[in-house]
Structure 1
Amino acid sequence: MFKRIVVPTDGSEITSKAVDTAIALAKVHGAKLYAVSVKEPFPYSAVSEMQPTPPQEFFDAQERIASTRVKAVLDAAKLAGVPCEGHTVEALHAWEAIIEHVERNEADLVVMASHGRRGVQALLLGSETQKLLTHCTIPVLVVR
């Protein structure tokens, strides 16, 4: 049924549950996984004479963090015998980068974690999962 599954990772504990679910689904369906970690862009608006972190150091750190997150998914998939590709992408909004990744890889399912924020906290912080659910044209499995 599913042949290409995208699993976004932010390295959190709840995301590891989504990764485990995505791997299990991929194994059952004989699907390929596409792991993606979204890097934050450099906050150019904060640039001043006393910028604490030079842009290249920021970019390098973001790449190291995102690559480590993706490698964890690649390792787990390999251990389970599931084919997996890993990618890091830079974006202001993670949900937009995930949808672009879905389209680029012609995915037919997204398995994503939700931190389960409710009430005012959800309103103030927003929800990447909610935005993805609103804008994505393929099924999204939300893991809590």
Structure 2
Amino acid sequence: MFKHILLPTDGSPLSEIAIQKSISLAKTLGAKVTGLYVIPEYHTFTWQTEMLIDTSEDYAKFSLAQAEKFLAVIRDQAKEAGVTVALLHVISEHPYEAIIKVADDNQCDLITMASHGRKGVQGFLIGSETQKVLVHSKIPVLVYR
């Protein structure tokens, strides 16, 4: 069935639940997992250049630390379950596009994600990366709620 699962995380408690269930699914299927964290691109909102000293470097260090922390959860659970795992982080303005690209580039045949369950006007206005992946992905997406 599925041989390579892409498992994006945003570090939220809901993502951790999706990680647990996805690792269990991978173990059952004998599939490998690629864990992914998408780092948002750095933006500045100032006209005073003196405010920018070391800011982008600090952002890069912080973002890499976050990526390592969130991906360690996937690594540790996969190791404990005996599931083969690879870990990636990418930088992108649009996480859903990065998720789909990484899935394509790595020949993943399933994407598993958490859903924050926003409904109504909030869901429409804010949108969700999971919803965008569902709409644009050409491979199956399994959503954990």
Q: TM-score range by the shorter chain?
A: over 0.9
**Count of residues in Structure 1 that have an aligned counterpart in Structure 2:** 143
Normalising by structure 1, we get a TM-score of 0.95
**What SS does the aligned partner of 1:137 have?**
coil
1:19-50 alpha-carbon deviations (Å, 9 max, x no partner): 11110111011100000001011113x14323
CA contact (8 A) 1:111 1:143 kept: yes
- RMSD, aligned α-carbons: 1.2
Q: If the length of structure 2 is used for normalisation, what is the TM-score?
A: 0.94
Partner of 2:40: 40
Residues 1-144 of structure 1 aligned to structure 2 (within 5 Å) = 1-44=1-44, 46-49=45-48, 50-51=51-52, 54-144=55-145
How far, CA to CA, are the matches of 2:39 and 2:96 in structure 1?
12
Runs of 4 or more, structure 1, over 3 Å off, are: none
Which string of whole-angstrom CA distances, capped at 9 and with x for unpartnered residues, describes residues 44-87 of structure 1?
3x143234861111111011101110111101100111010011
Task: Specify every segment of 5 or more residues in structure 2 that has no aligned partner in the other structure, as ranges.
Answer: none
Calculate percent identity across the aligned residue pairs.
41
> Unaligned 5+ residue runs, structure 1?
none
Counterpart Cα distance in 2 of 1:113 and 1:53: 34
| Secondary structure of 1:42's aligned partner | coil
Structure 2 letter corresponding to 1:125: I
What whole-Å deviation, never above 9, does each CA across 1:121-140 have from its counterpart, x for those lacking one?
11221111111000000110
Given that residues 21 and 111 in structure 1 are in contact (C-alpha distance below 8 angstroms), is that contact kept between their aligned partners in structure 2? no
Distance 2:111 2:119 in 1: 22
